[in-house]
Amino acid sequence: MFKKRHPGNGGRTEALEVKEKVPSEGRLSEFDRDEVDLEKWAQEHPDESPPRCRTYRIRVDKQRFRVQDSAMYGREILALVDLSPDGWNLAQKFPGGRREPIEPGQLVDFRKPGIERFETSPKHVQAGAESRRQFELPAEDVEFLDGLGLPWEAIRDGASLAVVIYDYSLPGGLTPNILDLMIRVPPHYPAAALDMFWLCPAVTRTDNQPIQAVTVEKFDGKTWQRWSRHRLGPQAWRPGIDNLATHLRFVEISLRRDAAIEA
């Protein structure tokens, strides 16, 4: 289902019928094309502005909407999924895992290059133990992880080191929607390569087709599903260039391929 926003009515939305009214010849001439899917465009053309369109397909968490404006305020994007800025944060995600927070009164231009999707998170979380930082990461990795807008920890379990990112969103076609992502950090990283990734709880495809090359491992008292996806050939590790940010992009591409979604 798609929703349409009505300007000037407080961000109220309604279901959009599949069959839409076709604009006049003069109206069509104002646009480069009829519609663009921002997520697909950002993946295929990350450095290019989307074309001027009559409608834009945007993704907020797991839901997709068709909107008729080229820009919306943060509070209006939250309203699409029936959330209020009083209790929820909003962020825009770019290819490679970078996220930027969006304020309720901030105008988001859908023609900005690289906007892949929007993600929400609760403002008020239950107080608990401080996040663990049990080993040191390069400064650029810490900056990247902090910029994700997601809780994360650097955990030592015996001789093993790993970064765990909580509340990580999976692409469509895989379930559960939100889980924990672990990346093991080898000795001598970043000269040594990051390899594979681990998910908790275990993931399945929504079409019930099997996922190849997965197994089970224990870490930090949890059972993790290891995905044996290796950086070979053109994706081989490049010391001095690759880091957690580029490896997370490799993870995203791998997940999309296994979900039968074009990366």
Tell whether the torsion through CA atoms of 93, 99, 105 and 109 is positive or negative: negative
* Distance linking the first and last C-alpha atoms of the chain: 23
Report domain extents, the chain: 2-122, 139-258
Q: What is 2-122's CATH number?
A: 3.10.20
Q: How far apart are CA 91 and CA 176, in angstroms?
A: 21
Q: What is the pLDDT of residue 25?
A: 40
Q: What is the pLDDT of residue 259?
A: 85
Q: What is the pLDDT of residue 31?
A: 74
Q: What is the pLDDT along the chain (263 residues), one digit of tens a residue?
A: 445 454 444 444 444 433 333 333 444 457 788 999 999 999 899 899 999 999 999 999 888 999 999 999 999 999 999 988 888 889 898 877 777 889 999 999 999 999 989 988 877 544 445 789 999 999 999 999 988 888 999 999 999 999 999 999 888 889 998 899 999 999 999 999 999 999 999 999 999 899 999 999 999 999 999 999 988 877 789 999 999 999 999 999 899 888 875 44
User: Which token pair is 23?
Assistant: 């604009």
Q: What is the pLDDT of residue 215?
A: 94
* C-alpha closest to that of 76 among 12, 120, 1, 2: 12
Q: What is the pLDDT of residue 220?
A: 93
Q: What is the DSSP string of 58-98?
A: EEETTEEEEES-SEEEHHHHHHHTT--TTTEEEEEE-TTS-
Q: What is the pLDDT of residue 10?
A: 47
Q: Phi and psi of 194, rounded to 5°?
A: -75, 145
* C-alpha closest to that of 173 among 204, 218, 128, 131: 204
